[in-house]
Amino acid sequence: MIANLILKTILILILIVLAVLIIINILFIVTIKKQKIYDSLTIEPYDFNEIPDIDFNLVNKLENKLYENGFGLPKSYKITTRGANNVTSYSKIMIHEKLCTWANIHYTYASEIKEIDNKETEFTSQKYAFELVTRYLDGSYVISRIDSEEPFFSSDKNIVFLYKDITSIDELVHKHFETIKELNNSKSIDDSILSGDHATTIIDKENKKSIDLFIENKMLKYDPIEKCYYNTWLGVFKMLIRTYKNTFREKIKKDAFNYKTKKEIINKTIPTPLKTLDSFFVISLILGLILFKSEAKTNAQLIFRTAVLFVSFIGLIITSIVKWLYKNKKS
């Protein structure tokens, strides 16, 4: 009887955990499905020295390496993407005029203040990426990139070299240049980046190319009424899978080219474990009351239901007292 009681308790705990995970995933799916995506960017000149929390040592190291290898004409920009959640990123574009190749030092920074339990909490995230890109007249590319995330799509026309951190910078530059030399006899390089405002043209064209790829792979669909794109169901589920993969990868290795998140509680609130425990007892109490609606067929069932109610009720009282003490201590 006791063994059955323990097994049932464990089963209920597992079901509660699964229910929470399902709810979290549903909320994620709904958020991504409703997200508006625009193919227009706001691109404006911006001083990299004014970017919040940027790692200047990393940026300077990349920039110096580019100068050493013949790159020049540096231009820095702030890029804002329209949507439900505005994303701001920064790019420093440098050009190798002889090889018609551009380098992009890319930095994404996001800051959001949320109100939690009438308290303000600031969430920030940052991520770096670096790439060399050479475009050919046939529409193909040679791309060498330092990025923690694998690209969504691959093309048989493109040659892509992926690296995980800055220690590979010398190999990246050397391999990229050698590949260009090997292709010189068979392909013609697109030199349009050398004319006009090359940096803004590059950023805008590459953004539109990225949107087109998502459409071709049935991950985005255009809404003519809203004049924006929405994620298809296929796109939503691919995004969900990608999020889990990146979360797992981030736990294995952390460096500047992974997403780094920071949470600063402006006015301290109740710790997450305590809130989770409190929610658990609330759900357990509700389940216990639901179980009591049906008649118990055996004494074991009656004992189990009573135990669930008793433990949930006592646990809820304890967590409520602890929460009250915590709030009064911090205020």
Looking at the domain assignment, is residue 30 inside a domain?
no
Q: How many helices (H) and strands (E) does the chain have?
A: 7, 10
- The predicted structure's pLDDT at residue 252: 44
Looking at the domain assignment, is residue 182 inside a domain?
yes
CA distance 295 to 227: 57
Same domain, 11 and 45: no
Residue ending a domain, among 235, 265, 295, is: 265
* Tens-digit pLDDT profile for residues 250-264: 544 455 555 555 555
Return the higher-pLDDT residue of 54 and 304.
54
| Alpha-carbon torsion angle 220, 217, 207, 123, nearest 10 | 60
CA distance 45 to 122: 27
- The predicted structure's pLDDT at residue 134: 93
pLDDT for residue 103 is more than 90: yes
Same domain, 280 and 249: no
Write down the mean pLDDT value for the chain.
78
- The predicted structure's pLDDT at residue 330: 47
Which one-letter amino acid corresponds to residue 89?
S
pLDDT for residue 110 is more than 60: yes
CA distance 313 to 307: 10
* Tens-digit pLDDT profile for residues 288-314: 777 777 776 777 777 777 777 777 778
Read off the pLDDT of each residue in 215-235 and give the average, rounded to a whole number: 87
Same domain, 249 and 291: no
Same domain, 126 and 230: yes
Same domain, 205 and 113: yes
Q: Write the CA distances from 188 to 19, 133, 161, 172, integer angstroms.
A: 56, 14, 20, 22
* Cα 91–chain centre separation: 18
pLDDT band, residue 238 (cuts 50/70/90): confident
Same domain, 281 and 155: no
Looking at the domain assignment, is residue 32 inside a domain?
no
- Number of domains into which the chain is organized: 2
Residue with tokens 């796109």: 235
Same domain, 254 and 308: no
Looking at the domain assignment, is residue 251 inside a domain?
yes
Read off the pLDDT of each residue in 155-173 and give the average, rounded to a whole number: 84
Residue with tokens 């930095």: 107
pLDDT band, residue 67 (cuts 50/70/90): very high
Read off the pLDDT of each residue in 14-23 and give the average, rounded to a whole number: 78
Same domain, 238 and 155: yes
Same domain, 192 and 242: yes
pTM of the model: 0.63
Q: Identify the burial level of 154 via C-beta atoms within 10 angstroms of its C-beta, where 0-12 means exposed, 13-18 middle and 19 or more buried.
A: exposed
Give, for 235, the enclosing helix (H) or strand (E): helix 233-252
Q: What is the CA radius of gyration of the chain?
A: 27
Read off the pLDDT of each residue in 100-120 and give the average, rounded to a whole number: 74
- The predicted structure's pLDDT at residue 156: 73
Same domain, 18 and 137: no
Return the higher-pLDDT residue of 154 and 48.
48
Closest CA to 97 of 73, 75, 76: 73
Same domain, 215 and 305: no
- The predicted structure's pLDDT at residue 84: 47
Same domain, 137 and 220: yes
The answer to whether 59 and 105 are in contact (CB under 8 A) is yes
The answer to whether 101 and 180 are in contact (CB under 8 A) is yes
- The predicted structure's pLDDT at residue 251: 47
Q: Strand 260-265 and strand 228-231: pairing?
A: unpaired
- The predicted structure's pLDDT at residue 262: 56
Return the higher-pLDDT residue of 331 and 166.
166
Looking at the domain assignment, is residue 43 inside a domain?
yes
- DSSP states of 34-76 as a string? H--EEEEEEEEE--GGGSTT--HHHHHHHHHHHHHTT-EEEEE
CA distance 36 to 85: 9
Range of the domain at 321: 2-25+270-330
Spell out the SS3 assignment of 109-176.
EEEEEEEECCEEEEEEEEEEEEEEEEEECCCCEEEEEECCCCCCCCCCCCEEEEECCHHHHHHHHHHH
